Amino acid sequence: MSLRIFNTLSSKKEAFDPSPENRVGMYVCGVTVYDYCHVGHARSAVVFDTIFRYLKHLEFDVTYVRNFTDIDDKIISRALEEKVSWQEVTKKYIDAFYEDMGQLYIEVPTVEPKATDHIPEMLDMIALLVDQGKAYESGGDVFYSVSSFGGYGQLSKKNIEELQSGARVEVNESKRDALDFVLWKKSKPGEPAWDSPWGAGRPGWHIECSAMGRKYLGDTFDIHGGGKDLVFPHHENEIAQSCGVTGCPPVRFWVHNGFVNIDKEKMSKSLGNFFTLRDIYKKHHPETLRLFLVSSHYRSPIDFSEKNLEDAEKVLSRFYEALADADEVLKGELASRDVVRKHPLLTKCEEAMNDDFNTSVVLALMNEELRAINTELDKIARGSGDQNKLLVCVAAFRLVGGLLGLLSSSPEKFKREIFDLKKSSLGLDVAKIEKLIKDRDLARKGQDWSRADQCRDELTQMGVVLEDTPQGTEWKIQ
RNA sequence: GGCACCGUCGCCAAGUGGUAAGGCAGAAGUCUGCAAAACUUCCAUCGGCGGUUCGAUUCCGCCCGGUGCCUCCA
């Protein structure tokens, strides 16, 4: 089966037919840089990063564009609050974005345009709309006239008359119609401003994506992504603007990820129920968060909770544990790429990913493969295993993990990082632990089992788990 | 009020018109001084009621419950 993707526009999975040159253009709405990223931002970034990785795996020539919205009301008010320039605000949070997202193994997109670097492109589009009578100036603002676009509401399945009568649509004296939205916003004295044919101002939010998508990917491109909350009005408006300018639909596939919930409620700034990535990283490994985020389908809501992260960490630890054991046996031996490509695990995972990026099934398949790997390891330890089989399984396992952006670390590094996180959050006394382990080993050598068990009970109470191996006693936390 | 979506084992989570992947937790076993880890085995009839069908968890209708969008939002 070839790739099928759910298209918000049709509410159906559709065959994703590549262009003859196998090129794919994908635009994803990034973040407005006025604060630290929370888990909701991470989900969107991880979802589209996973899609990006998979498209590349299918050997598409992908141009992936993800923007930064670096001018907007919230940025201006944040600058006022912090008594700094708006540029300082955006720089600070763009830096923080890279720091926080980088830890989630998010690959760098092909292009990362900023809105303020594309004012001329936006002005061009606005001018074209005004010339055609699809947009109008009013008191220094420029609005898009929604009634000029027949297809309005198609993406969000909204009825234009119902929207018009909707009580919640803001009433603005300078608009001709309540649904009209701003393309260019007149600036007040002291606010950041750019010159335009309609006076000093700044762009409205929606026009930046239309302008940047068009500049980097053309009048019509393959995939446009973002969180479900962007469907209306942002993406609906984008379609209206772009169609107004080019006369053709800007996007073939609209792809939207579901929300991150806390207790079944959407994580959001206004509800105050959000967790920033940096807060989470104090207690959890970023890769754990990534595994958690790919454990459900990208369109479903996902409930963020301590328990779910703990479950994710257990899975990931088992993965790395097996890899550590396998590496010890294989000693850096490399599998043939062609053989790995034909491994059933990979074939099955491709089938799952081809069906609208079903990452949960990929994880299920990885868990099954994990059992096969551990079984082979057991056999090898008993002298009857097939080392070559193990080699190929492990290579396929790593490759598939890589599709999800997982397992790119070394097992030692991962284990050490988890250890450090737990050690500091539990405040463990390592010297005391090692003393107890030494005492226990002495007791064991003297076959003083009750003394040995006493030591271990004490360690258990501290959250330390012991593992007696032929190489000696190892320990881990919790 | 309008428009969408969701309701699968104790918890998380896939899925299909022909009797339901995977993970966590739990139970039993192998291994172990005892454990841990690993492995083996066990562990659900899919919110309710009707309908379509030879057959529905999967399609349709109604009901109940939950969420989202309609304003900035990943």
- pLDDT tens for residues A31-64? 999 999 999 999 999 999 999 999 999 999 999 9
**ipTM tops the 0.85 cut:** yes
User: Which pLDDT band, with edges at 50, 70 and 90, does A425 fall under?
Assistant: confident
Q: Which residue is nearest to nucleotide B73 (CA to C1')?
A: A229
* CATH code of domain A308-413: 1.20.120.640
- Enumerate the β-bridge partners of residue A23: A61
pLDDT tops 60 at residue A170: no
Quote the tokens at residue A345: 């695990």
Nucleotide nearest to A467 (CA to C1'): B36
Residue A45: which nucleotide is closest by CA–C1'?
B74
H or E stretch at A251: strand A251-257
What's the CA gap between A368 and A359, in Å, rounded?
14
Which nucleotide shows the minimum CA-to-C1' distance to residue A265? Answer: B67
Q: Rounded distance, CA A291 to CA A234, Å?
A: 29
Q: Note the CA–C1' distance, A352 to B17, in angstroms.
A: 21
Q: What CA–CA distances, in Å, run from A356 to A4, A42, A128, A306?
A: 5, 20, 37, 28
**Å: A351 CA to B36 C1':** 37
What's the number of CA atoms in the CB half-sphere (13 Å) around residue A335?
23
Separation in Å: B6 C1' and A53 CA: 29
pLDDT of residue A424: 87
Q: Which ranges of A254-358 would DSSP assign to H, the alpha helix?
A: 277-281, 286-294, 306-330, 337-341, 344-354
Please give the helix or strand (H or E) that residue A217 lies within, else none.
helix A205-217
Q: Which nucleotide is closest, CA of A37 to its C1'?
A: B74
The secondary structure of residue A107, as a DSSP letter, is P
- What are the tens digits of pLDDT across the range A201-243? 999 999 999 999 999 999 999 999 999 999 999 999 999 999 9
- CA-to-C1' span, A305 to B29 (A): 34
Q: Which residue is associated with the tokens 């129920």?
A: A273
CA-to-CA distance for A444 and A175, rounded, in angstroms? 83
> Nearest 5°: CA angle at A329, between A328 and A334?
95
> Could you tell me how many residues make up chain A?
478
Protein residue minimizing CA–C1' distance to B4: A157
- Distance in Å from B37's C1' to A473's CA comes to 12
A246-257 residue pLDDT tens: 999 999 999 999
User: Shortest CA distance to A330 belongs to which of A398, A259, A406?
Assistant: A398
Q: Using the CA of A292, which nucleotide's C1' is the nearest one?
A: B12
| Residues whose CB is less than 8 angstroms from the CB of residue A406 and which lie 6 or more positions away in sequence, other chains included | A105, A287, A290, A291, A294, A316, A319
**Model confidence at A1: pLDDT above 70:** no
User: What's residue A200's pLDDT?
Assistant: 96
How far does the CA of A245 sit from the C1' of B55, in Å? 54
* Phi, psi of A429, rounded to the nearest 5 degrees: -100, 95
Q: Which residues contact A431 (CB under 8 A, 6 or more apart)?
A: none
Average pLDDT over residues A88-114: 97
Nearest nucleotide (C1') to the CA of residue A374?
B38
What percent of chain A has pLDDT above 90?
A: 88
Token readout for A399 is: 């490759």
As to burial, measured by CB atoms within 10 angstroms (0-12 exposed, 13-18 middle, 19+ buried), residue A384 is exposed
**pLDDT at res. A166:** 54
Distance A294 CA to B25 C1' (A): 21
Greatest Cα pair distance in chain A: 93
Determine the pLDDT at residue A471. 83
**Phi, psi of A27, rounded to the nearest 5 degrees:** -120, 130
Write out the CATH class of domain A20-266: alpha beta
Residues A118, A182: Cα–Cα separation, whole Å: 17
Positions of strand B less than 7 angstroms from a protein CB: 1-6, 11-15, 21-25, 32-40, 66-74
C1' of B14 to CA of A347 (Å) = 18
Give the closest residue to B21 (Cα–C1′): A364
- Hey, which residues does A253 pair with through a beta bridge? A223
Q: Whole-angstrom Cα distance, residue A226 to residue A217?
A: 16
C1'-nearest nucleotide to the CA of A31: B74
Which nt is closest to the CA of A296, judged by C1'? B13
- Please state which of the ranges A261-275, A301-315, A357-371, A397-411 shows the lowest mean pLDDT: A261-275
Nucleotide nearest to A449 (CA to C1'): B33
Q: For chain A, give the mean pLDDT.
A: 94
- Residue A19's pLDDT band, with cuts at 50, 70 and 90, is confident
**∠ CA A205-A294-A292, rounded to 5°:** 105
Mean predicted confidence (pLDDT) in A441-452: 93
Round and report the angstrom distance from CA (A366) to C1' (B9). 21
Strand partners, A127: none
**Would you say residue A283 has pLDDT above 70?**
yes
Nearest residue to B22, CA vs C1'?
A364
How far does the CA of A314 sit from the C1' of B32, in Å?
A: 23
The pLDDT confidence band at residue A168, using thresholds 50, 70 and 90, is low
Q: Which residue is nearest to nucleotide B23 (CA to C1')?
A: A315
In A139-237, the DSSP E strands lie at 141-144, 181-186, 201-203, 221-227
Place of tokens 């037919």: A17
A33 phi/psi in degrees, rounded to 5: -90, 80
Q: Protein A353 CA to nucleic acid B58 C1', in Å? A: 21
